[in-house]
C-alpha cells in the first residue's frame, strides 16, 4: 500500500513540478519566447501527422460501408466523406501556414483542432455509451490527448474545461450508468495528469537545451572578441566576412577596407607601461566605434596596435569620409599619464582600399592592397590617410 502511495505522490509531484516552473520563470524573455515558438511549431506538426493517420479511419469506413447491405449506406458514406473533407481542409490550411511561415496562426489552428476533436469524440462516445454501454471511443480520445498535443497549462485548460462541461452534460442527461460516468471522470483526470507529465518532460529538455545553446553562443562570442577592446578579433572578423563577402559579390556592392595603425605605439607602451598602453588601445577602439556607426560596419583589432574597419555598400567618397572622421576622433583623445602631468596626443596612420568584388576575387586581395596603403601612410610620415596613391 505504501508503495502505491509513493508512486501516486511521485506522479503528482511531477505533474505540479514547482521547481521546473521556477526554473522556467528564471529564464530570459528571449529564451522563453524561443521555447514557446518551438513548442507551437512542434504542436502544429504533430497535429498534421495525427490528421494524416486519422484520415485512414473515415477512408476505411467508406470502403467498408460500400460492401455492407444496409439501408444506411448512403448516410454513412456522406458522414465519413464530410469528416474526411474537414480533415483534408484542416491539413491544407496547416500546410499553407507552414509553407508561408505564418507562425502566429499555429496556436489558433492546433487549439481549434483539439477543441473540435474533443467535441466530436464526446458526441460519438455519448452515442457509444448509450447504445453499447462502452467506453471504447472515449479511450481513443484519452490516448490521443495524452500522447499527441504537448500543451502548457494555459492552453490545456481549454481542453480540460471542455471535457468537464461535456461530462456534466452527460450526467444531467441521466442516460448513463453511474459507473460509466465515474470511469469517464477517472479517465479524464488521468489524461490531464499524463498531459502535464508530457509537457513538463518536454519543458525540462527544452530548458536544458536552450541553456546549453546560450552557453555555447556566449563561448563563441567570447572566442570571437578581443578581451581588451571588445572589438572583433581575427576569428570574429573571418566569421563576419564569410557572410558579407558573398553578399558583396552577389549584389555587386562595393567592399571597403580601412586599416589603421597607432603611430609610435611601441615607444608609448615602453615608456609609460602596459597599463597605459592598454588604455590607449581602448580609447582608439572607442574613437573608431564612434565613427563606424552603421549596423553593417565591421570593426576588428587584428594586431597589437592595428585595427581594421570593413564597410560594404560604401563608395570611395564615403570611405574617405569615414576614415577622416576616425582620424579626427583619435586626434581628440588626450591621455593623462599616471606618473606625470604630461598630456599625450594620439595619431593614426590609415590605408584605404575599395573594390566591387567579382566571383574570382577574394578578401585577401583587398586586404593586401589596404595593408600596402597603410604601409605607405606610415612611410610617408604617419598621421595621414592614403587612398588610391593619394595622401589626405
Q: What is the pLDDT of residues 336-365, one digit of tens each?
A: 766 667 778 899 999 999 999 888 888 999
Q: Of 220, 253, 278, which closes a domain?
A: 220
Q: Which three cell numbers stand for residue 203?
A: 519543458
Question: Domain containing 373: what range?
Answer: 234-391
Q: What is the pLDDT of residues 89-102, one digit of tens each?
A: 999 999 999 888 88
Pair (189, 314) in one structural domain? no
Tell me, yes or no, whether 80 lies in a domain: yes
Residues 6 or more apart from 355 whose CB is under 8 A from it?
254, 255, 361, 365, 366, 369
Residue 155 pLDDT exceeds 90? no
Tell me, yes or no, whether 374 lies in a domain: yes
Pairwise CA distance, residues 143 & 50, whole Å: 12
Average pLDDT for residues 76-83, to the nearest whole number?
83
Q: Which three cell numbers stand for residue 61?
A: 469506413
Q: What is the pLDDT of residues 45-65, one digit of tens each?
A: 999 999 999 898 888 888 887
Residue 8 pLDDT exceeds 60? no
Residue 246 pLDDT exceeds 60? yes
Give the residue from 144, 140, 137 showing the smallest Cα distance to 113: 144
Pair (255, 295) in one structural domain? yes
Tell me, yes or no, whether 138 lies in a domain: yes
Tell me, yes or no, whether 225 lies in a domain: no
Pairwise CA distance, residues 138 & 143, whole Å: 9
pTM: 0.58
Q: Of 220, 244, 276, which closes a domain?
A: 220
Pair (279, 177) in one structural domain? no
Tell me, yes or no, whether 227 lies in a domain: no
Pair (197, 283) in one structural domain? no
Q: What's the pLDDT at 352?
A: 94
Query: What is the pLDDT confidence band of residue 371, given thresholds at 50, 70 and 90?
Result: very high
Pairwise CA distance, residues 44 & 155, whole Å: 14
Give the residue from 156, 155, 152, 148 showing the smallest Cα distance to 50: 148
Top-confidence residue, 118 or 129: 118
Q: Which three cell numbers stand for residue 137?
A: 471511443
Q: What percent of the chain is modeled with pLDDT above 70?
A: 88
Tell me, yes or no, whether 226 lies in a domain: no
Q: Which three cell numbers stand for residue 323?
A: 576614415
Task: Give DSSP secondary structure letters for 55-104.
Answer: THHHHHHHHHHHT---TTHHHHHHHHHHHHHHHHHHHHHHHHHHHTT-GG
Residues 6 or more apart from 290 whose CB is under 8 A from it?
329
Pair (254, 381) in one structural domain? yes
Pair (330, 285) in one structural domain? yes
Tell me, yes or no, whether 229 lies in a domain: no
Residues 6 or more apart from 83 whose CB is under 8 A from it?
58
Residue 13 pLDDT exceeds 70? no
Average pLDDT of the chain to the nearest whole number: 84
Buried b / exposed e along 49-82 (16+ C-beta atoms within 10 A): ebbeebbeebeebbeebeeeeeeeeeebbeebee
Tell me, yes or no, whether 332 lies in a domain: yes
Residue 11 pLDDT exceeds 60? no
Q: Which three cell numbers stand for residue 314?
A: 560604401
Lowest-confidence pick of 31-40, 129-138, 189-198, 251-260: 129-138
C-beta of residue 223 within 8 angstroms of C-beta of residue 335 = no
Pair (142, 61) in one structural domain? yes
Q: Of 220, 255, 284, which closes a domain?
A: 220
Q: What's the pLDDT at 3?
A: 54
Give the residue from 37, 31, 36, 78 showing the smallest Cα distance to 58: 78
Angle of helix 73-99 relative to helix 56-66, nearest 10 degrees? 160
Residue 106 pLDDT exceeds 70? yes
Between the CA of residue 342 and those of 149, 338, 376, what are the distances in Å? Answer: 72, 9, 30
Pair (198, 329) in one structural domain? no
What's the number of domains the chain is made of?
Answer: 2
Q: Which value, in Å, is the radius of gyration of the alpha carbons in the chain?
A: 34
- Three-state SS sequence of 364-380: HHHHHHHHHHHHHHHHH
Q: What's the pLDDT at 282?
A: 92
Pair (250, 368) in one structural domain? yes
Pair (85, 160) in one structural domain? yes
Whether the CA torsion 44, 50, 52, 57 is positive or negative: it is negative
Q: What is the pLDDT of residues 300-332, one digit of tens each?
A: 998 889 999 999 888 889 999 999 999 999 999
Pair (356, 295) in one structural domain? yes
Pair (337, 260) in one structural domain? yes
CATH number for 336: 3.30.70.270
Amino acid at each position: 500500500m505504501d508503495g502505491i502511495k509513493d508512486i501516486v505522490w511521485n506522479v503528482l509531484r511531477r505533474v505540479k513540478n514547482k521547481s521546473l516552473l521556477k526554473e522556467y520563470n528564471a529564464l530570459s524573455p528571449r529564451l522563453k519566447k524561443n521555447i514557446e515558438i518551438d513548442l507551437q511549431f512542434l504542436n502544429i506538426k504533430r497535429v498534421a501527422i495525427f490528421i494524416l493517420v486519422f484520415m485512414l479511419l473515415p477512408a476505411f469506413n467508406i470502403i467498408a460501408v460500400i460492401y455492407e447491405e444496409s439501408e444506411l449506406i448512403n448516410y454513412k458514406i456522406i458522414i465519413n466523406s464530410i469528416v474526411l473533407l474537414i480533415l483534408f481542409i484542416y491539413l491544407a490550411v496547416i500546410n499553407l501556414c507552414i509553407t508561408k511561415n505564418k507562425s502566429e496562426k499555429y496556436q489558433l489552428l492546433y487549439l481549434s483542432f483539439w477543441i473540435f476533436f474533443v467535441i466530436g469524440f464526446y458526441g460519438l462516445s455519448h452515442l457509444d455509451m448509450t447504445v453499447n454501454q462502452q467506453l471504447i471511443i472515449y479511450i481513443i480520445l484519452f490516448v490521443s490527448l495524452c500522447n499527441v498535443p504537448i500543451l502548457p497549462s494555459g492552453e490545456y485548460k481549454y481542453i480540460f474545461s471542455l471535457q468537464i462541461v461535456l461530462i456534466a452534460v452527460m450526467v444531467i442527461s441521466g442516460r448513463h450508468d453511474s459507473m460509466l460516468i465515474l470511469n469517464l471522470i477517472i479517465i479524464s483526470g488521468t489524461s490531464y495528469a499524463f498531459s502535464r507529465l508530457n509537457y513538463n518532460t518536454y519543458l525540462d529538455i527544452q530548458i536544458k537545451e536552450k541553456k546549453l545553446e546560450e552557453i555555447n553562443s556566449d563561448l563563441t562570442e567570447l572566442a570571437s572578441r578581443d578581451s581588451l577592446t571588445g572589438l572583433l578579433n581575427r576569428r570574429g572578423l573571418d566569421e563576419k566576412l564569410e557572410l558579407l563577402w558573398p553578399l558583396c559579390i552577389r549584389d555587386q556592392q562595393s567592399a571597403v577596407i580601412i586599416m589603421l595603425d597607432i603611430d609610435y605605439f611601441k615607444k608609448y607602451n615602453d615608456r609609460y607601461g602596459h597599463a597605459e598602453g592598454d588604455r590607449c588601445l581602448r580609447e582608439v577602439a572607442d574613437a573608431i566605434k564612434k565613427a563606424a556607426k552603421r549596423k553593417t560596419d565591421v570593426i576588428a583589432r587584428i594586431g597589437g596596435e592595428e585595427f581594421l574597419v570593413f564597410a560594404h555598400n560604401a563608395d570611395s567618397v564615403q570611405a574617405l569620409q569615414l576614415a577622416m572622421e576616425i582620424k579626427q576622433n583619435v586626434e581628440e583623445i588626450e591621455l593623462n599619464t599616471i606618473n606625470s602631468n604630461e598630456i599625450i596626443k594620439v595619431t593614426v596612420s590609415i590605408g584605404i582600399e575599395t573594390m566591387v568584388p567579382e566571383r574570382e576575387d577574394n578578401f585577401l586581395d583587398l586586404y593586401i592592397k589596404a595593408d600596402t596603403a597603410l604601409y605607405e601612410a606610415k612611410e610617408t610620415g604617419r598621421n595621414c590617410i592614403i587612398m588610391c596613391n593619394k595622401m589626405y
